[in-house]
Structure 1
Amino acid sequence: MSRPIAFYYGAGELDRLSRFDLVVLQADFYSRAELDLLRERGVRTLGYLSLTEDVGPAAPWHRPERNPDWGGAFVHVGDPRWVAHVVDQAVRAMDKGFHGLFLDTLNIEYDYPEDLPHLLLLIAAVREEANPGYLLANRGFGLLPELADLVDGVLFESFSARWVDTEHYAPWPDDVLETHAAVAERLLGLGLDLYALDYADDDELADFACRRAREFGMFCFVSDRVLSRI
């Protein structure tokens, strides 16, 4: 029996990935032949796409600030050159054989709220130009309710558990869990596919995350900080 979803940012492992209905992969790590094989096995593949951070070389759309955890440069989302860059990445992923796209780095409502309208337009451009079979948004709660009209599903990353540093994992404190529960209740009313991605290094924490996700209608996948486990 297949499982609903997996996130894997390594390469290969086609047999293990074949156990899932939907898998999120790094677009550059898989060939067309590998994607075709997964499709033949009934697996839908989503290519990773960052919409507000850029890990590439210095570019005119970069802001001076960088993500302190991952090192990518924050961008001016509405810069037409960034829009063209992202749409090109999306089109190339779809041409390569991905079923759809996983839209990451959508949480800019606190740092760059002025870019939220630009981000909605960017998602709409990706939908129109790349024509993905499925769009899965990572969080993006500051874009609701408009986001619900543009995507097919929402992932609640770190819904119940988190990585504290590079080696330690823990459940969220009670007040954060309550806040996340309120957001999850809102998501339930949008008619979208709902998923949770949590981080754990032991069975007890993983079981807690999966049980809690089920309470809110979410399929849960548990991994490590760098998504190297299947």
Structure 2
Amino acid sequence: MFDKTMQPRPAWWRRPLARFMGGVVGVFAGFFLNTASAQPPAVGRIAFFYGEALDPAALAGYDQVVVEPDNGFVPKAAEAAGTEPRGMRWIAYVSVGEVLPSRDYYAAIPKAWRIGRNGDWKSEVIDQAAPGWPQFFVEKVIAPLWAKGYRGFFLDTLDSYQLMAKTDAERARQQAGLVAVIQRIHRRFPRAELILNRGFELMPQVHDNVSAVAFESLYRGWDEANQRYVAVPEDARAWLLARAREVRERYDLPVIAIDYCAPADLACAQQTVAQIRAQGLIPYVGDGHLMRINPAAAQD
């Protein structure tokens, strides 16, 4: 049974934001430079792209883009080469609640911390309450990405603990662990832009540490099992809109809605962007696996 503050994922829902995630490489650097107190920039128009060949021209009109760092993009290298759009902010996807064996840091995670499996994605669920996990995550995952030039992090799989936690007490322990991870990231890198994928139940403790909250599939979703685009049921949309309203009104944070349309269906993308904006949310509409940049959300 799920936490009462969480809505169960519908049967058709699959997590395209985590589908193609690989490992993280790098070395820790810049501790003293990065501990200076400063506020991250405001969230602007945002794209999500997890492919390998990033076309800078496709990012015209966007202020920032979330990318899969294991696909080889290094912001500092792009800046040095002069190939990145001026003023672009690069946000790294990171999985908090789960880990794939392909991640470089996987072998360093104690076996006792890996408490279950997510069969849909062939990943392992991490015990967020494990002593040392917040420090490990910052040192082995976040710090190397910061050293590469990423100045923000999209924190995914924040509800994976629900696969294993079956009692209120255990859910509370896991949630406290997630709070500790997020707060430790913020303390170490106060200038970093932290965007949560859901994590609604964590907001009372972490709202001062994050820049925005995102969620998927408000109007249009992607059914990974059946490889098709689907309309989101009204009850699921109503629940998400209620959570978005809480985040905006109670915590004064922007909310990002990520929806999915077929790449060739420009009308679907434009309509969905308009619907999301009408709700006062920041839109992005991508293909089911986020392999292409869709310009729709960058247009007025």
The alignment's TM-score, normalised by the length of structure 1, stands at 0.88
Q: Which residue of 1 aligns with 2:7?
A: none
What is aligned with 2:124? Answer: 73
- Pick from 67, 71, 74: which aligns with 1:25? 67
Q: Which structure has more strand as a fraction of its residues?
A: 1
**Distance in 2 (alpha carbons) for counterparts of 1:140 and 1:15:** 31
What is the 5 A alignment of 1:44-83? 44-56=89-101, 57=106, 59=109, 60=111, 61-64=113-116, 66-83=117-134
Instruction: Output the CA distance in 1 between the equivalents of 2:272 and 2:288.
Output: 15
Matched AA of 1:87: V
Distance 1:200 1:41, change over 3 A: same
Task: Report what 2:235 is aligned to.
Answer: 175
AA partner of residue 96 (structure 2): L
Please point out which of 210, 213, 216 is paired with 2:279.
216
Deviation at 1:84, TM superposition (A): 3.1
1:4 aligns with 2:33: no
Give the partner amino acid of 1:213: I
Please show how residues 116-155 of structure 1 align to structure 2 within 5 Å.
116-155=175-214
Determine the structure 1 residue equivalent to 2:270.
Answer: 207
1:196 to 257, 260, 264: 257
Is residue 146 of structure 2 the alignment partner of residue 94 of structure 1?
A: yes
1:33-92 CA-partner distances (Å, limit 9, x unpaired): 12554666110111111111011346421112x223322111101223432331121011
Following the alignment from structure 1 to structure 2, what is the Cα–Cα distance between the partners of residues 67 and 209?
A: 30
How many positions carry a matched residue from both structures?
Answer: 227
Partner of 2:11: none
- Local SS of the residue matching 2:119: coil
Q: 1:147 to 1:159 in 2, by over 3 A?
A: farther
The one of 1, 11, 15 aligned to 2:56: 15
Question: C-alpha separation between the residues in 1 aligned to 2:222 and 2:85?
Answer: 35
TM-score normalised per structure 2: 0.69
Larger Rg: 2
Gaps of 5+ in 2: 1-43, 166-170, 294-300
Conserved in 2, the CA contact under 8 Å of 1:50 and 1:104? yes
Give % identity.
30
**Change in CA separation of 1:140 and 1:100 when aligned onto 2, cut-off 3 Å:** same
8 Å CA contact retained: 2:56, 2:84:
no
Structure 1: 5+ residue stretches without partners? none
For the residues of structure 1 that align with 2:129 and 2:200, how far apart are their CA atoms?
Answer: 19
Contact kept, 8 Å, 1:18 with 1:41, in 2: the verdict is: no
